[in-house]
Structures are given as structure tokens and as C-alpha cells.
Amino acid sequence: MSGDPPVVSGEAALHQIQLNGEPRQVAAATILALVEELSLDPRKVAVERNLEIVPKSLHAATPVAEGDRIELVQFVGGG
Amino acid sequence: MTDIAPASETWTVAGRTFSSRLIVGTGKYADYAQNAAAAEAAGAEIVTVAVRRVNLSDPSQPMLVDYVKPDRFTFLPNTAGCFTGEDAVRTLRLAREAGGWSLVKLEVLSNTAHLYPDMVETLRALDLLIKDGFDVMVYCTDDVVMAKRLEDAGAAAIMPAAAPIGSGLGIQNEVNVRLIVEQARVPVLVDAGVGTASDATRAMELGCDAVLMNTAIAGAKDPIRMARAMKHAVLAGRDAYLAGRMPKRLYASPSSPLAGLI
């Protein structure tokens, strides 16, 4: 990877993370912002960051850092 | 027309009490709307659900919880896709975070065509989950000795397969299911293999506390109608079990009197 990406005026720097198994560049600085950036309803998903559950109550306080491995899951049909 | 069942005829698992003895899955439906309609027609109070990654490329995709609502049903998160105890713990922790669900279904399947569970890993996973504070209903084989081990290890319910998942072959192991029912002090549910209404009735006649099914309803030509059939089938089987059936006889025993013939 090259050095820090350029900061576009008025926006936060992008971080490179692993999101649901895929590399992705995101602007969000917190888990809450990430869920919003992805247009997801925080009440309907669960978040794991670097193999640790991030409770909903801590979404706003938990940072998204360069290199984080994040899993966003939901309930789907199953037997 | 209402189904007449005494208000006291409930069952309890891990301290939670339910009226319906039919648990339905949420897989293999045409869409979530049909799924919700089937769960309603079945009179189910509990539905099993899986935990999977959100589809990030299409956030407008319909979500299960918008149709099969968690304020209407008790979700029973499963460990489908988990082959180790560690995977099961990780998955169910996410389910607990997503909706507060701590009553869960443990299934550690083998990677085979028959999908029977790996009981060695299941036993190990059960210990890990109980230590993490879950109440665990365990999908298992019909091994009567293993069922006792699972119960002694703290399983909240024992759920033997009647036949392979999705096979619809019906109760292939009546003797073992009956033996498991006789020895268990926690609820016993047939989970997997039910194909049609009479299978569900048979499971209840053997003394099961409830029945869990998915494909039997979702795979029927008319899932809503089959869901309704299953609701009645479970009620019929439970009443028949409690009524105490007549003994079987080798020969006839006439129903009309012999006296007074003209």
C-alpha cells in the first residue's frame, strides 16, 4: 500500500479495512458511522471487530482503524 | 373454529414457557413474505434463524426481520455452517448481540451427504456454549447413550433427527426416539426428517414435547396449507399421547354387542 491517501477537503481520511472478508476503503471513523455509511439499520445488524463483539451501546465510541477486520451480520432464513 | 387446548397444556424449555409445540424453520421459502405467512399458519411461537454476513452490495435487499418479526416470534438462532465449537460460540455471540437471544440451537453437522451431526464436536461445543451463558437445545443423532450425555452436560433440550435434514423420510427410528423420551428430564423434540403431517403426529405420539421442521413446510406444494396441517397434526398427536391409546390386539374385538341379534 502507498502512504496515507489524500484528505479531500471537508472529509475524513479513508481507512483500508477488511469488511465481511473483502478489502474496502471506508471514511467512517467509528462503528456507528460505518453502519450509517453502508446504509444499514444498526438495530438489525451485529458487529464484530477483530474477533470481538461491539455492542450497540458502544458503536459510537468504538473507532474504525486501519487494518481492522470487521464482520457485519444479520439474521437470515435457516432451519 | 378454535382449537381446544387446555390453557395448562404448555411446555417449558430453559425456563421459558410456550403454548405451541411446533417450531418452524425460516429457510428454503420462496420469499420472506411466504415465510411469515407459513409461520403464522403453523401457529408457531418459535422460529429458527441463521446468522450470515450482510449483503453490502445491496443494502435494500429484504431482511428476514422485516417479515418474520422478532417482536412476534422468539428467534432460535442456529449454528448452521459451524463445524467447530469455536465457530458456534462466535456465531451465537453475534446472534445474542443482534437480538438478545440466549436460547439457541446447536447443530454441528458433518460434511457429508447425510448431514448427520458430528456428536463428538457437538458435545465439545455444548460445553463451550454453556460456559458462555447460553441455553442450548442440541440437534443430535438418535444415539440414546449420547442423548443422556448431552443432558448430563447441561443441554436445555434434546433434539434427535428422525431422518436426514430435508429428506422428508419421516420417523425412521421410533424405538430410539421413545427411549430418549423415556430417559430425558428435559424436553425432547424431533428435529429433521419430518415430511408430512402424519410424521409430526407420530413424533408427538411417541411422547415428544414438540417438533421442529423446515423443509416439510417450505418444500410442500402449498406451504401455507401444510403449515396449517402441521399445526393440527402436532395438536392431534399430543392429545392422542395424553389420552392413552388403546392396546393393540392380535385378533378382532367386536364393537357391536353379540346379544339381542334378531
Q: Measured between beta carbons, which residues in chain B are less than 8 angstroms from residue A75?
A: 49-51, 63-65, 70, 75, 77, 95, 98-99
C-alpha cell at B119: 456428536
Work out the percent of chain B whose per-residue pLDDT is above 70: 97
Q: Measured between beta carbons, which residues in chain B are less than 8 angstroms from residue A77?
A: 25-29, 32, 35, 49-50, 64
Contact B64 A77 (CB under 8 A): yes
Instruction: Count other Cβ atoms within 10 Å, centred on residue A60.
Output: 11
Q: Would the pTM count as exceeding 0.90?
A: yes
Q: What is the pLDDT of residue B59?
A: 77
Let me know if B105 is a catalytic residue: yes
Min Cα–Cα distance to chain B from A46, Å: 5
Q: What is the pLDDT of residue A3?
A: 54
Q: What is the pLDDT of residues B179-233, one digit of tens each?
A: 999 999 999 999 999 999 999 999 999 999 999 999 999 999 999 999 999 999 9
DSSP secondary-structure letter at B107? -
Q: Measured between beta carbons, which residues in chain A are less than 8 angstroms from residue B60?
A: 39
Determine the average pLDDT of the residues in A48-63. 97
B223-243 vs B197-205: helix axis angle to the nearest 10? 20
Min Cα–Cα distance to chain A from B253, Å: 45
Burial status of residue B39 (CB atoms within 10 A of its CB: 0-12, 13-18, 19 or more): buried
Contact B165 A79 (CB under 8 A): yes
Q: What is the pLDDT of residue A10?
A: 45
| pLDDT beyond 80 at B8 | no
Of B139, B122, B126, nearest in space to B213 by CA: B139
Work out the percent of chain A whose per-residue pLDDT is above 90: 81
**Span between the terminal Cα atoms of chain B, in Å:** 43
